[in-house]
Amino acid sequence: MADDPEDLPHFNLFSEEFSRCPQAVYREMRAACPVTRAAITESLVLSRYEDVAWALRHPEIFSSAMDLQVALGTERPMIPQQIDPPAQTRYRKLLDPHFSRRKMEALIPSIRANANALIDTFIDAGECEFDEAFAIPLPCTAFLDLLGLPQEDLALFLELKDGIIRPQKAQPDLDFEGAQRVRVESGRRIYRYFERIIEERLREKTPREDLLSSILSAEIDGEKLISTEILDICFLLLLAGLDTVTATLGCNIAYLAANPDQRRRILEHPELLPGAVEELMRWETPVTAVPRLVKREVEVGGTVIAEGELVTLLIGAANTDESHFPEADRVDFERERNIHMAFGAGPHRCLGSHLARMELCAAMEEWHRRIPEYHIKSGETPRYSPGIREVLYLPLVWER
């Protein structure tokens, strides 16, 4: 007998408490039943590894083409994240080679240099608020390098990104409508910024050797992309490539600050760092979930999900599922076959995963080389944001 979706248990995935320590709630959700409901949004939630992996690999049922535009200040669907295959596949074929491991490796020296330049600004103080001082600016400088945009635009980019993702940061008193207005305005400014840059590039006689120039000259079936397609790709890269790395860096360093034995293992065995980055991505899963729209009725573990339902695929819960990961609750930097889904799975799997891994490894290596012994300032508690788990407040101290 199928369960009635009206009677499913509700879980709050938007509280700060959940965001700080979601693993216990994940366990409850997986145990409760294969399908639950999210409080506030009322979307259905899949939390078991097998179900989430299956849904991610069936975009013809679980579609990414949904009307989230208003919430993100965009005017059209972002490419390729908000469109389904086969149209999405054509864009991925064009973009994938530009994000290959080999291409991304070329960015490592500047990521290291930028990490050190940031550390130089606060190391002598013996303390910093990690998010503001390091985790936010570092991915933004890498993004500007990647696209070939001037580093002088860093402050502008941070302002525009916050305007979309956290409008209340600059204006804490904003109500829902006010926040929405800031999002739409920031969205417009992002479009105008890229329109201007694209026009400038098209006027240049010799193409530059950066990602933006490559996208401008790229072709699908012998045709160049039109300017709105380029804008919709750039908009997504900006939103997808900044907060995700910021959040992951924050979650990783917060974990290591609170677990000195694990931190010492990395210091004593630096070769464990790539495995640690991977395992912390699994355990922390900073991008906890991705949304999908159900295109046709489907049954998951005995619950019938109707066409038109919004479904949250809780990848954080899937990544801590005992039925897939032996001793899932143990954070093991030497875990074998760590096939987590922190970068998603299926056709929409993260385009920037090589870049993200390199940024994380380079940043964490440089940080631990310069500041090996650190801890959370006494009497303080880190503060996590709901949604993407950015550690908004992470006060760290170390010996000068």
Closer of 35 and 341 to ligand HEM (Cβ): 341
* Residue 27 within binding range of ligand HEM, rule CB under 6 A: no
In angstroms, what is the minimal distance from the CB of 245 to ligand HEM? Answer: 5
As given in the structure block, the two tokens for residue 161 are 């990104």
Among 164, 182, 251, 355, binds ligand HEM (CB under 6 A): 355
Letters for 193-232 (x = contact with ligand HEM by CB under 6 A, - = none) are ----------------------------------------
Among 34, 344, 382, 395, binds ligand HEM (CB under 6 A): 344
Name residue 37's beta-bridge partners.
Answer: 10, 44
- What residue spans of the chain are helical by DSSP H? 16-20, 23-32, 49-56, 69-72, 87-95, 101-105, 108-122, 130, 137-147, 154-165, 176-203, 211-217, 227-241, 243-258, 260-268, 273-284, 315-318, 353-370
Q: Cα–Cα distances in Å, from 246 out to 41, 142, 398? A: 25, 12, 21
Q: Which residue is listed with tokens 């009497």?
A: 379
Q: Which stretch binds ligand HEM (CB under 6 A): 36-44, 127-135, 286-294, 328-336?
A: 286-294
In angstroms, what is the minimal distance from the CB of 52 to ligand HEM? Answer: 10
Q: Name residues whose C-beta falls within 8 Å of residue 175's C-beta, 6 or more positions apart in sequence.
A: none
Q: Cα–Cα distances in Å, from 138 out to 117, 164, 374? A: 10, 19, 19
Q: Which stretch binds ligand HEM (CB under 6 A): 21-29, 109-117, 151-159, 283-291?
A: 283-291
Letters for 356-385 (x = contact with ligand HEM by CB under 6 A, - = none) are x-----------------------------
Q: CB burial class (10 A; 0-12, 13-18, 19+) of residue 400?
A: exposed
Taking CB under 6 A as the criterion, which residues in 68-97 touch ligand HEM? 80-81, 88, 92
3-class secondary structure, 392: strand
Q: Total residues contacting ligand HEM (rule CB under 6 A)? A: 24
Q: How far apart are CA 54 and CA 309, in angstroms?
A: 17
Taking CB under 6 A as the criterion, which residues in 323-342 touch ligand HEM? 342
With CA atoms as reference, report the closest residue to 113 among 149, 138, 146, 150: 138
With CA atoms as reference, report the closest residue to 47 among 318, 248, 400: 318
With CA atoms as reference, report the closest residue to 331 among 365, 287, 280: 280
In angstroms, what is the minimal distance from the CB of 227 to ligand HEM? Answer: 18
Q: Which stretch binds ligand HEM (CB under 6 A): 215-223, 318-326, 347-355, 364-372?
A: 347-355
Closer of 92 and 265 to ligand HEM (Cβ): 92
Q: How far apart are CA 195 and CA 39, in angstroms?
A: 39
In angstroms, what is the minimal distance from the CB of 81 to ligand HEM? Answer: 4
* Residue 352 within binding range of ligand HEM, rule CB under 6 A: yes
* Residue 61 within binding range of ligand HEM, rule CB under 6 A: no
Letters for 236-255 (x = contact with ligand HEM by CB under 6 A, - = none) are xx--xx--xx--x-------
Binding site for ligand HEM (CB under 6 A): 64, 80-81, 88, 92, 236-237, 240-241, 244-245, 248, 286-287, 290, 342-344, 348, 350-352, 355-356
